[in-house]
């Protein structure tokens, strides 16, 4: 990602559409709508991980990854030559476009409903595939290639997981994603943003009906934050080197 290029947004949805309407999809759509109005629409890319699922990694991916890892940081253009067979070449052909798409984005927008305290399997499959050894490190300098990329994660949660709630401490979604983007992809904390819409099931489940007003406030706050983040320039400041 080059800071002098036209602004670009990679919009990823991972929640299953359903008859009640996906809250995470509605919110990421709002972000994309505002972003495209404020910035160049030509820089917009969309990936639906449910309609077009990323195949889970398997033995060919692992074997190729280990071979590459033993050599240190290998430029992406040289990985295919290290494939030992057709299965590894096919797996790399599935992987490389996802990595290049990620590298091209100034902002990565991820819609992630909470499933069983964590992220959907569709999102985890994407994460596993793009986490190829050395893929996100400059082979010359050793610097993280995504150190100036902005990541915005929009979550939808049927319950409440904030401080003081009965399920505070059961959120394995935001902490996991924060650690993943920081440790594996080199995206610093100051370039990560998390927006939560909570109690989204209040209007659908009788035993949660008393939380309908709380859910409406949470959704309104999420929409306001999303619109503000989308309207920003979208060029994160590079984190200072230690």
Half-sphere exposure (CA, 13 Å, Cβ side) for 6? Answer: 10
Residue 165, annotated as binding a ligand: no
Strand arrangement of the beta sheet that strand 107-113 belongs to: 44-48, 9-13, 107-113, 150-156, 192-197
Those residues with Cβ within 8 angstroms of residue 78's Cβ, 6 or more apart along the chain or in another chain: none
Residue 24, annotated as binding a ligand: yes
Those residues with Cβ within 8 angstroms of residue 111's Cβ, 6 or more apart along the chain or in another chain: 12, 13, 14, 15, 22, 24, 25, 27, 28, 154, 156
Residue 116, annotated as binding a ligand: yes
Residue 117, annotated as binding a ligand: yes
Residue 115, annotated as binding a ligand: yes
**Contact by Cβ (8 Å): 25, 110:** no
Residue 23, annotated as binding a ligand: yes
Residue 19, annotated as binding a ligand: no
**Contact by Cβ (8 Å): 152, 107:** yes
CA 39, 156, 228: angle at the middle one, nearest 5? 30
Which own/partner contact pairs does 65-73 have at CB distance under 8 Å and 24+ positions apart? 65/132, 65/133, 66/133, 68/132, 68/133, 68/134, 69/133, 69/134, 72/134, 73/134, 73/137, 73/138, 73/139, 73/142
List the binding residues for FMN: 22-24, 114-117
List the binding residues: 22-24, 114-117
């Amino acid at each position: 990602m080059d800071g002098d290029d036209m602004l670009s947004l990679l919009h990823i949805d991972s929640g299953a559409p359903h008859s009640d309407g996906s809250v995470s999809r509605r919110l990421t759509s709002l972000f994309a709508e505002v972003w495209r109005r404020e910035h160049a629409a030509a820089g917009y890319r969309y990936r639906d991980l449910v309609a077009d699922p990323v195949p889970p990694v398997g033995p060919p991916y692992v074997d190729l990854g280990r071979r590459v890892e033993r050599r240190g940081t290998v430029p992406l253009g040289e990985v295919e030559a290290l494939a030992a067979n057709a299965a590894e070449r096919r797996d790399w052909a599935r992987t490389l476009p996802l990595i290049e798409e990620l590298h091209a984005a100034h902002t990565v927008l991820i819609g992630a409903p909470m499933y069983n305290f964590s992220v959907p399997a569709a999102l985890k499959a994407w994460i596993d595939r793009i986490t190829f050894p050395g893929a996100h490190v400059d082979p010359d300098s050793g610097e993280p290639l995504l150190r100036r990329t902005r990541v915005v994660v929009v979550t939808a949660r049927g319950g409440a997981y904030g401080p003081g709630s009965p399920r505070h401490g059961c959120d394995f979604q935001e902490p996991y994603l924060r650690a993943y983007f920081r440790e594996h992809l080199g995206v610093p904390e100051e370039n990560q943003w998390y927006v939560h819409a909570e109690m989204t099931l209040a209007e659908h489940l009788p035993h949660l009906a008393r939380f309908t007003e709380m859910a409406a406030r949470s959704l309104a706050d999420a929409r306001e934050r999303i619109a503000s983040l989308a309207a920003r320039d979208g060029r994160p400041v590079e984190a200072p080197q230690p």
